[in-house]
Amino acid sequence: MQDDALSTASSVNAARLLDSIQTLARFGAREDGGVDRPALSSIDIDARRHLIDRALALGCSVRTDACANLFFRREGLENLPPVMTGSHTDTQPTGGKLDGCYGVLAGLECLAALNDANIRTRRPLEVVAWTNEEGTRFQPGAMGSSAFTDPVLIERYMQARDSEGITLAAALAAHRDAFPSLATRPVQAQAHAFMELHIEQGPLLELADVPLGVVTGIQGVRWYAVHCKGAAAHAGTTPMHARHDAMTLALAVRAELSALAHELGRDDTRITFGRWTVLPNSINTIASDVTFTVDFRHPDASVLHAFDKQLDACVERHAVSREVLFAHPPVEFAPSIIRRVKDACNALSAPSMNITSGAFHDAMYLAKHCPSAMLFVPSRGGISHNPAESTGDDHLVLGTRALAHCLVHLCNEAP
């Protein structure tokens, strides 16, 4: 068993892995070196056809489900619940080559390495490409993984429309038409474990000069929109004392929420006020309406709850209103899988550190379905969602080797 894990890891083919990343990046390539591949677009369907062909060539069976997730399955020696790994292939409009794709392609490389090493595992291994993780074409994001773990969600998602008015239902029909022969994976077939390999999308590994991050959980998040009402008035004729400037009000609320977040969250605080809508947004008119978003993240659920309560009090104190846009509790990954990830790092003599993910990932939903964890490799400059997104080749290969080691151990675990 130990030998199988190490020999699979050493069978990971660096050139083949790196080439597969460049090849997939051609689907939706941007002139600036980035990738623009909206979920279930014709470009994404072409990319999926490429992945399906590759999986079939590796001897896998290929299945799909109601949300067009793709499952590439390498059978095991026994008919046991499978080990799953994977990520997504859709990108941000100004995305890079690695966010999501790296996890899928590293999974396929592990399948190839197992073939090359002529290793059979006890359990089946499934590499998955989850649909619409980015949430750029259809909202919300992580549709595929959340619908996999909670199938009733698909009914609601079907109504989602992209910016051209196309529904998810229509996009899924186009996907079915493109791949009419794909079998359907049974709903709720319980998996044994899920592992997601991903770029960090932040600066912590690079700052610490550590090549592997053992992800112990994902921060919880609150998304709010805060609406502040003033009165539009002429910038020249309205004395300062007679103004009701919605922007001045909004900035007072923002300052309080920022102070509050830092007081509650201390060093782990992540607070962002990223989207602003100002009306009438005219040079010489005092703002009548300002709406801004709050993105607050923290690994501690009690801090998130305290923030919710104090935000409500702040909003009431200032007589503004707020809307909850999204909320997710912190996710703690399974200690059993985290241990496998650490063992893999140690077995490869690769320095690693524990890290909490600041970004959402499909693993956030898979953690509800089966024991799950993640592995990070460094992002140069912490840059992501950007054509300049990059990771050193040595880190990309090392991450894939650690994934292979980990997957083989999980695949050989007893029921």
Give me the least distance between CB of 302 and a second copy, in Å please. Answer: 19
Q: Which stretch binds a second copy (CB under 8 A): 164-172, 180-188, 304-312, 353-361?
A: 353-361
Sign of CA dihedral 322, 295, 305, 220: positive
Residue type present at position 89: T
Q: Which stretch binds a second copy (CB under 8 A): 51-59, 157-165, 177-185, 246-254?
A: 246-254
CA 198 to chain CA mean position, Å: 8
Name the token pair of 386. 């950007």
Number of neighbours of residue 123 by Cβ within 10 angstroms: 25
Give me the least distance between CB of 245 and a second copy, in Å please. Answer: 8
Nearest to 84 by CA among 9, 158, 189, 193: 193
Number of neighbours of residue 23 by Cβ within 10 angstroms: 13
Query: Cβ distance 140 to 98 under 8 Å?
Result: no
**In the set 58, 278, 306, 334, which binds a second copy (CB under 8 A)?**
278
Q: Which residue in this structure is represented by tokens 């305290």? A: 306
**In the set 119, 251, 334, 353, which binds a second copy (CB under 8 A)?**
251
Q: Is 190 in the site for a second copy (CB under 8 A)?
A: no
Give me the least distance between CB of 272 and a second copy, in Å please. Answer: 4
Give me the least distance between CB of 48 and a second copy, in Å please. Answer: 26
Tell me if 298 is assigned to a ligand binding site: no
Site mask for a second copy (CB under 8 A), range 366-405, x = bound = ----------------xxxxx-------------------
Tell me if 99 is assigned to a ligand binding site: yes
Q: Is 72 in the site for a second copy (CB under 8 A)?
A: no
Q: Alpha-carbon distance 339 to 350, whole Å?
A: 15
Name the token pair of 407. 């997957």
Name the token pair of 78. 């026994």
Q: Alpha-carbon distance 376 to 353, whole Å?
A: 10
Give me the least distance between CB of 170 and a second copy, in Å please. Answer: 26
Is the CB of 218 or the CB of 407 nearer to a second copy? 218
Q: Alpha-carbon distance 140 to 133, whole Å?
A: 8
Q: Is 359 in the site for a second copy (CB under 8 A)?
A: yes
Query: Cβ distance 288 to 230 under 8 Å?
Result: yes
Site mask for a second copy (CB under 8 A), range 3-32, x = bound = ------------------------------
Is the CB of 187 or the CB of 235 nearer to a second copy? 235
In SS3 terms, 24-74 reads as HCCCCECCCCCECCCCCCHHHHHHHHHHHHHHHHCCCEEEECCCCCEEEEE
Q: Alpha-carbon distance 371 to 82, whole Å?
A: 12
Q: Which residues lie below 8 Å from residue 41, measured CB to CB, with a gap of 6+? A: 28, 137
Residue 137 sits at φ, ψ, to 5 deg, of -80, -50
**In the set 83, 105, 247, 364, which binds a second copy (CB under 8 A)?**
247
Longest distance between any two alpha carbons in the chain, whole Å: 82
Is the CB of 124 or the CB of 299 nearer to a second copy? 299
Q: Give the SS3 label for residue 260.
A: helix
Site mask for a second copy (CB under 8 A), range 289-328, x = bound = ----x-x-x---------------------------x---
**In the set 110, 260, 264, 271, which binds a second copy (CB under 8 A)?**
271
Q: Alpha-carbon distance 314 to 259, whole Å?
A: 11
Give me the least distance between CB of 313 and a second copy, in Å please. Answer: 22
- What stretch of H or E contains 129? strand 125-130
Is the CB of 1 or the CB of 276 nearer to a second copy? 276
Q: Which stretch binds a second copy (CB under 8 A): 4-12, 40-48, 227-235, 332-340?
A: 227-235
**In the set 284, 319, 349, 414, which binds a second copy (CB under 8 A)?**
284
Q: Which stretch binds a second copy (CB under 8 A): 25-33, 75-83, 104-112, 194-202?
A: 194-202
Q: Which stretch binds a second copy (CB under 8 A): 38-46, 58-66, 156-164, 239-247?
A: 239-247
**In the set 57, 152, 240, 319, which binds a second copy (CB under 8 A)?**
240
What residues are designated binding site? 88, 99, 134, 198, 385
Task: Please give the residue ranges that form the binding site for a second copy (CB under 8 A).
Answer: 200-204, 207, 219, 221, 223, 232-240, 242, 245, 247, 251, 254, 262, 269-276, 278, 281-287, 293, 295, 297, 325, 357-360, 382-386
